[in-house]
Chain A
Amino acid sequence: MMDVGRHPKIELLTMSQVTDIHGYVGNFKVTVESQPRYVDPDKCTACNACTEACPLSKADPFDAGLSTRQIAYRPFAQAVPNVYAIDKDGIPPCQTACPVEQHAQGYIALIREGHYEDALRVIKEDNPFPSVCGRSCHHPCEGRCTRKYVDEPISIMALKRFVTDHVYTHGLHREIEPIPCTKEKRVAIVGSGPVGLTVAQDLVKMGYPVTVFESLPVAGGMMRVGIPEHRLPKAILQRDIDDIVALGVELRLNSPISDPLELQAQGYDAVFMATGISRPTRLGIAGEDLDGFFDGIKFLREVSLGKRVEIGERVAVVGGGITAVDCATTALRLGAREVTLVYRRSRGELPVYTEEIDEAENEGVRFLERTMATRIIGDEHGRIVGLECARSKPTGRIDETGKRDLVTVPDTEFTIEGDTVIRAIGQFSDLSYLTPEFEDLVGGASTLLTEHEGILCHRGVIPGAGFVVNAIALGHEAAEHVHRYLEGEPLPAPPLVKMPERKWTRDEALAKARELEIEPRAKVPPTVRPVAEREGTFREVWLTYSEEQAKAEAARCLDCASCCECMRCVWACGPGAIDHRMTKEVREIGIGAIVLATGYDLYPAGNLPQYGHGRYPNVLDGLEFERMTNLSGPTGGKILCADGSEPKTIAFLHCAGSRDDNHKPYCSRLCCMYALKLAHMAKDLTDANVYEFYIDIRAAGKGYEEFYRRVQEDGVKFIRGKASEIEPVDGRLLVRAEDTLIGEQIEVPADMVVLITPMQPSAGARDLGQMAGVSVGKDGFFNELHPKLAPVSTASDGVFLAGCAQGVKDIPDSVAQASAAASKVLGLLSREKVEIDPIKAHVIEERCSGCGECVLTCPYNAIILHATKGCAEVNAALCKGCGTCSGACVSHAIDISHFEDGQLMAELVGMLNRPGEFVLV
């Protein structure tokens, strides 16, 4: 194998499949689809670092599933090519659900293994604000989590928060080294919210010098001044911002920008406007200008900036988003005695998570659902004295936001007495701070370019509040666009080819849970600070997981996709050979001859229920036993029962599935010999009694009979009779059989039973045969051209057979046939010209009426109607000579050389008019 791997004239296409073959001998075109191995074979040095880094493992097919291997792996020690690969099933659903495609399965796996630094590192690859998204994310990932089919989704958001808190509080290592500036062109970003800072981070990582301009005295945008301290402590947010600044981003606070052209004049080659959504939506009711009325966003901003905000004792908040809840809970903390949250829809439609509204209620917020504010009542001094509300009902129409439209129910008006009203019903993006020229600035839907050269902007007025994670996604997109703009590359960027999602159905998920023996177990609930401790303070409401809680929660992950893309292998790989974004490659190769050597599959022992393979742990198939005898195998060369003890009796059952009309009718030919070899090994490695239950011992081959005799001399007991069933009795396996030599039923108690199963054609061989024009026999093996005279050739010229693809055979025979096939190929290719069948169609033009029937019948599109002659014309290079055209032509105008109408007619006339008896004897 090594020789083949190193040979300069042999190109090995691993992980590849033939998807199409066309052409003819000497001139085949083969389409090959190569699956990505995610490791560059030219760079991989087979150092094993990726395997050591990989946190996940699965059953190892090389050890017949008896041991496990990592997801980043080499199939076996002597593998050729000696290159590692990574097993991927697709993208896990949590990752595709995330707008920034966080590698959730990856960091969950790393938390489970205790690699917290790496977990944070992989989170930060896609998300510069993990502390924020660990606390305040709408976490669509959890909605798609496959674990929901078993019990509850994983608390992915809480796990992310745990990682950030753990790494920062324990002072663990983070990747925050300044990144050297490698590019000349400078970028200015206006706004330091999640979009602005994400763009800045991405561009700095690409090597651009970046400056961020922020009008407020603090950075973070809406994360800083829109989310109150008790939900997202400022110091926590500052950690993420500090990490971004540490990469080399220049952050200028208190720097309002009103004219982007000024920035360009200062020498910035690109300006990105990342100012968000701060223009409030108006309620459109009377009294929005009264004393005691606040806009929610402004209210939260003032409180966040530490300004003194005077609110009354009785507060009504209008709205139902998280901002409304935040306003209500902030008002309580500022000293309001009574806070009422007025929401016009029902509780179930509230766009916040239930635990958030539950905790607000626990703190004392009164929640009024299906209620609309109709009027703010003021007194003669212009001060608010109450809020008039009415019950609401849906009209049955859907409004432009996709929600049901509502109207008030007449005569249900009532008044909430109070002195403060806070409006929190959403906001718009705001560009009013710019000079009038730029007020309508908007980025192109797919390019983010504006009509001003060098100025990029988000997609304009966005109604309603966005989620932080969507903002980060926009940031990544914007950074890519700015980069492409500066490099002069076309916009929009061509779409990335991505792997499909690894989707799970409920049944699949439940089956996996059963297989892994997973018991339903609810998620670990996050701890919440008691209400008494929260009163009047801005201490954080939700607490982080403890390390034990986090590990317990992470252990619930079902590992949806094989590879979790935790990126540890990428960081561990010295030569930088690993690329998780590789995609499959399809190519067409021109070749002269084909050898089909697709080998065999082992007949699954599980198809023989009477022997209980898969149910009884000590019933093995031959391959499993063989791996056990191997020194580098799963047991290190020891033959052990499932409980770890050495078996005292081992029984080998020959013809388990072969010579049996219910399974495989043929003799698999080499099983007798491999059963004898395994029995010999068993005698060698253990002190066990070894039995062989056989029908006939077929030891035809050089030296085989001698080996049979030697195994008999080893003391192996041979019983002539096929075992009928295995029954577990008293912890052992009772093998029942008829000893046909003495004509009696016998029962042998054994500790281990090995099923000697037959070979069968490998899966997919039939499809490959169809492509290559080689038929299969009734057992599914490829048909040779002639069983005696042409055992290597096939009915298709230039296609040859070798090994078990053609029929069961042992290694010497396979090698002999392979050599024969090779010499056949050499004989073919050494010729300068190949001869192809002269059987081709030709048109007799004077008879052809140009009806086109032959054109329709030709399977190879080899016939066309001649444009001027008005008759059919055959392309001899495409014609294969089937004659279907000739059979269809009513005017005998198209004929097949060597199978002409006249020839066939003469043949049948001659046959039928032969004198004497018709019968051929």
Chain B
Amino acid sequence: MTETFHPRIIGFLCNWCSYAGADGAGIARLQYPPNMTVIRVMCSGRVSPEMIIRSFREGADGVMVLGCHIGDCHYISGNHRTAKRVPMLQNLLGYTGIDPRRLRLDWVSSAEGPKLAKVVDEFVGTIRELGPAGFKTTTAHVLALPVLS
């Protein structure tokens, strides 16, 4: 197969730091791989484990959760929850056959456009090495029941 592998990556970016950081990267005209699709959430604490698992099931090759640095959270301590939740999920992912490296948690502040570009670049590289995830369910999943499915 000569076809190039284009990883599909979902990025959950918090509104105040990482999303603004991505804005900053754009304003500074920084180049980084276009493989990440951003889903804006108000806080990284909004991201439930289910959303991450669902991303893999829908065909994502990697998931990034980016939030404010600890202590900088716009919502005082929302990212403290993320800091506990995501590493816990990483531990469990191994049991399901998903390489824990396919889930990445990092902190990017609104001033860190260059860091955002670097983190995405690194992560895309990691996923390229790992190859396609292939956890997309083949059964007809129904959009009509997005929750409690």
Which A residues contact B (CB, under 8 angstroms)?
770, 773, 775-778, 783, 786-788, 795, 839, 857, 859-860, 880-884, 886-889, 892, 896, 899, 901-902, 904-909, 911-913, 917-921
Contacts and interface: CB of A to CB of B under 8 A. Distances in A.
A202 B103 CA distance: 77
Interface in B3-35: 6-8, 10, 16-17, 20, 23, 27, 34-35
Contacts of B50: 901
Interface in B33-53: 34-35, 37, 39, 41-43, 45-48, 50-51
Contacts of B111: 775-778, 783
Interface residues of B, number: 48
A795 B74 contact: yes
A161 B60 CA distance: 88
B75 to A, nearest CB: 4
B77 A859 contact: yes
A882 B41 CA distance: 8
Main secondary structure on B side of the interface with A? loop
Nearest to B27: A787
A524 B7 CA distance: 85
A911 B146 contact: no
Given A901-B146, A909-B141, A912-B8, 10 more contacts: A775-B68, A795-B20, A839-B42, A859-B75, A880-B75, A883-B43, A884-B75, A892-B147, A909-B54, A921-B34
Nearest to A889: B48
B41 A904 contact: yes
Contact of B45 (A787, A860, A883): A883
Nearest to A776: B111
A860 B76 contact: yes
Interface of B: 6-8, 10, 16-17, 20, 23, 27, 34-35, 37, 39, 41-43, 45-48, 50-51, 54-55, 58-60, 68, 72-78, 81-82, 85, 109-112, 136, 141, 143, 146-148
Contact of A899 (B20, B41, B73): B41
Given A896-B46, A901-B146, A905-B147, A882 B74 contact: yes
Contact of A905 (B6, B35, B51, B81): B51
Contact of B76 (A859, A896, A902, A919): A859
Given A884-B75, A887-B81, A887-B85, A905 B146 contact: yes
Nearest to B49: A887
A917 B4 CA distance: 11
B37 A884 contact: no
Nearest to B148: A892
Given A901-B146, A918-B8, A881 B42 contact: yes
B112 A778 contact: yes
B37 A901 contact: no
Contact of B42 (A783, A889, A896): A896
Contact of B59 (A786, A882, A886, A913): A913
B56 to A, nearest CB: 9
A911 B34 contact: no
Given A882-B74, A883-B43, A912-B55, A775 B146 contact: no
A911 B48 contact: no
Nearest to B48: A887
A887 B75 CA distance: 14
A902 B142 CA distance: 12
A770 B60 CA distance: 36
A23 to B, nearest CB: 14
B10 to A, nearest CB: 6
B79 to A, nearest CB: 9
Contacts of B59: 912-913
A874 to B, nearest CB: 15
A328 to B, nearest CB: 69
Contacts of B110: 775, 777, 783, 795
Nearest to B109: A775
Nearest to A795: B16
